[in-house]
Amino acid sequence: MTNDPDLNGSLAGKQVLIVEDEFLITMLIEDALDNLGCRVAGTAGRFDEALEKARSLPFDVAILDVNLDGRRTFPIAELLAERGRAFVFATGYGAGNLPEALAGTPILPKPFEQRDLEKALRQALARV
């Protein structure tokens, strides 16, 4: 845990949108979120479905797989930024592949551990 007060708040009860095209990774994220006291607001494995849920669902923070079945999720991230919603990118490629406008977005590295997820969520929520 950090000494930064913005990063120490409880994640309990936070609603999370999961955008991930690998079912097993989605299940791992769901389990980790449950352990953190978060609730899953929704999941999406296809770009169009993710875009619609990002527009319409109520949630506190989203986890976006950067590469969703071969399609980049940057337009979804831009929509979330316009809506004032917190989000993190889940990727195995690091922050170097992000567009300049999204370069400060918290990264959840793949593979990840629960503490990585917790840290990324706290960073994202502290930004909005």
52-73 pLDDT, tens digit each: 999 999 999 999 999 998 999 9
pLDDT in tens, 80-116: 999 999 999 999 877 677 888 898 899 999 999 999 9
Fold of 12-127: Rossmann fold (3.40.50)
The pTM score is 0.91
- Centre a 10 Å sphere on the Cβ of residue 38 and count the other Cβ atoms it contains: 24
Closest by CA to 26, choosing from 90, 80, 74, is: 90
Q: Locate the domains of the chain by residue range.
A: 12-127
Longest dimension (CA), the chain: 39
